[in-house]
């Protein structure tokens, strides 16, 4: 039986309690990602149909009503599978590469605290990497949502499998591997600046309020010494 205390630091400086908290936090965050993606999936479907097919709201309503009648309410969550396969790995890749990039740039700049430029560049690069790696699942998600109503109209809904990997195979057969990366530049131009602005603003705000909190704590001590 081990005599180690649960708060005794491990060889890497992390205690077992900290490891448990980190694991639980990861599980909670994953659940939140899954939950949020599930909730907004019908809205994503509506947005995709409006953008790609330029349907009027009446046409979109008829399309959705027909899909619900033929396939049930679950048809409104068409594309949820590839959405989760896109968003969960995206977040993991983004945060991992962001922390690694931020640490590396701090070392190269010989600074302990990351500057606004360091966080901005780290956010843009990590967002770019994550968006490229997960792009095939975004393409599949879009394809599945655009197909809503089209397969029923052509009586193909029972003949064509809409599973994520079968859709991938169809895309590769029609357009080659390049087809899985359709929309590469628009997605990159959208995601990279968004990730950079989000994380650099967050880090700036965190540093600002941390400094304010420290000043608030130290002010009574300084006043008592004067």
pLDDT tens for each residue of 42-55: 777 777 766 666 66
The tens digit of pLDDT for each residue in 122-138 reads: 999 999 999 999 999 98
User: Residue 58: which CATH number?
Assistant: 1.50.40.10
Total domains in the chain come to 1
- pLDDT for 8: 43
User: What does the H/E/C string look like for the chain?
Assistant: CCCCCCCCCCCCCCCHHHHHHHHHHHHHHHHHHHHHHHHHHHHHHHHHHHHHHCCCHHHHHHHHHHHHHHHCHHHHHCCHHHHHHHHHHHHHHHHHHHHHHHHHHHHHHCCCCCCHHHHHHHHHHHHHHHHHHHHHHHHHHHHHHHCCCHHHHCCCCCCCCCCHHHHHHHHHHHHCHHHHHCCHHHHHHHHHHHHHHHHHHHHHHHHHHHHHHHHHHHHHHHHHHC
Question: Per the domain annotation, does 187 fall within a domain?
Answer: yes
Residue segments in the chain with a per-residue pLDDT below the cut of 70: 1-35, 37, 49-56, 60, 67, 70-72, 75, 148-162, 220-226
Question: Per the domain annotation, does 9 fall within a domain?
Answer: no
- pLDDT for 123: 95
Question: Per the domain annotation, does 6 fall within a domain?
Answer: no
Instruction: Name the residue range of residue 88's domain.
Output: 16-209
């Amino acid at each position: 039986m081990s005599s180690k205390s649960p708060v005794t630091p491990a060889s890497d400086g992390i205690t077992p309690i900290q490891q448990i908290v980190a694991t639980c936090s990861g599980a909670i965050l994953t659940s939140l990602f899954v939950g949020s993606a599930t909730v907004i999936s019908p809205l994503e479907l509506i947005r995709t149909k409006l953008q790609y097919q330029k349907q009027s709201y009446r046409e979109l309503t008829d399309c959705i009503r027909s899909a619900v009648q033929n396939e049930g309410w679950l048809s409104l969550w068409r594309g949820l599978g590839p959405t989760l396969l896109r968003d969960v790995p995206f977040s993991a890749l983004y945060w991992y590469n962001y922390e690694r990039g931020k640490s590396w740039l701090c070392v190269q700049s010989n600074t302990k605290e990351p500057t606004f430029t360091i966080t901005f560049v780290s956010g843009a690069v990590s967002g770019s990497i994550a968006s490229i790696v997960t792009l095939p699942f975004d393409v599949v998600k879009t394809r599945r949502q655009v197909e809503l109503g089209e397969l029923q109209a052509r009586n193909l809904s029972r003949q064509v499998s809409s599973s994520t990997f079968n859709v991938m195979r169809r895309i590769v057969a029609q357009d080659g591997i390049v087809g899985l990366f359709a929309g590469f530049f628009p997605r990159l131009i959208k995601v990279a600046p968004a990730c950079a602005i989000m994380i650099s603003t967050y880090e700036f705000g965190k540093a600002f309020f941390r400094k304010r909190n420290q000043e608030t704590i130290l002010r009574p001590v300084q006043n008592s010494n004067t």
